[in-house]
Homo-oligomer: A and B are copies of this chain.
């Protein structure tokens, strides 16, 4: 186990009716709020009206920025930061899924930066502080409601990169599983794949001596395997939505990587798919994951796959180790397929291999060569090819 410093400051109000606490949370920091959201789904579900009424009834001023994209653009974040400066905003309040929260994080940091937020994305050290963030989550997936990351896209340069800093931990997150009832099957499936991959990136990173963390990760993965398909079929199953929602937060808030930090190969590769083709992040991960597993299965990794198969899928300890590993990988693929996710890049609109080389170069630049099984440019290209 590695040495580590643990500190997760985000406070969470979880459950039915949790939004009632919003005014109390806001007033801890001020009375001027920027609401950030994406399309109109929060208006259709009534959540928008609920929030507006709570703010108005409590004398809290609100500006708003809508239209945040699924892979949020730096241009949108810059717009939000401008509003914060002009309107003296004290709290940034994203209502939505990971993209909306990621955009709000960039806005919260951008409020203290004179210049293009993309400068900060490229050099995180320029980010020194951020406005307090209070999030209302409507999609269990990225874990942005309880983590330090913000992934921002620059469509001019085809880059998707991250802001990463302690100041980006939301102060409060409001998690009501009922707000995810309206999430369509495809987004539920993609979100679940995203959660699972966050855990796998840590689980398979080769750090030893982390028995406790590994067993906890198996528990989180089992939860996804159990409830992902249920939530896809029965969107108003409260326990399914609640378990997935809380699992999403703990998959990436920093806890499981305590003692087990390391680079994330699948995300480094998937961010290129999103950056070049604007695909749904979780679906891209679902396609990459089993292929990456097969590609990295070797004498150095096989025992991890055996543990994974036993701990998550209950595979028999009697199986020969490579057989167990292969079954575990196949079962992973089957979970994604059971949620209706297709398993090729072609199926998500990537029609030729012309950009694989430049995408592979960017994945390598994002750190794939320092992973437990190093992935050089030709390895990444081969993985993209096998996914095609």
Contact = CB atoms under 8 A, between A and B. Distances in A.
B209 A215 contact: no
Contact of A14 (B5, B242, B314): B5
Contacts of A219: 212, 215-216, 218-219
Contacts of A4: 14-15
A223 interface: yes
Interface residues of A, number: 42
Contacts of A250: 212
A242 B1 contact: yes
A2 to B, nearest CB: 7
A48 to B, nearest CB: 22
A16 interface: yes
A372 to B, nearest CB: 18
A374 interface: no
A314 to B, nearest CB: 8
B238 A211 contact: no
B14 A259 contact: yes
Contacts of A14: 3-6, 258-259
Q: Is the interface of A mostly helix, strand, loop or mixed?
A: mixed
A11 B9 CA distance: 9
A222 to B, nearest CB: 5
Contacts of A13: 5-6
Contact of A242 (B17, B242, B259): B259
A49 interface: no
Nearest to A8: B8
A8 B317 CA distance: 37
A227 interface: yes
A35 interface: no
Nearest to A17: B3
A223 B16 CA distance: 33
A185 interface: no
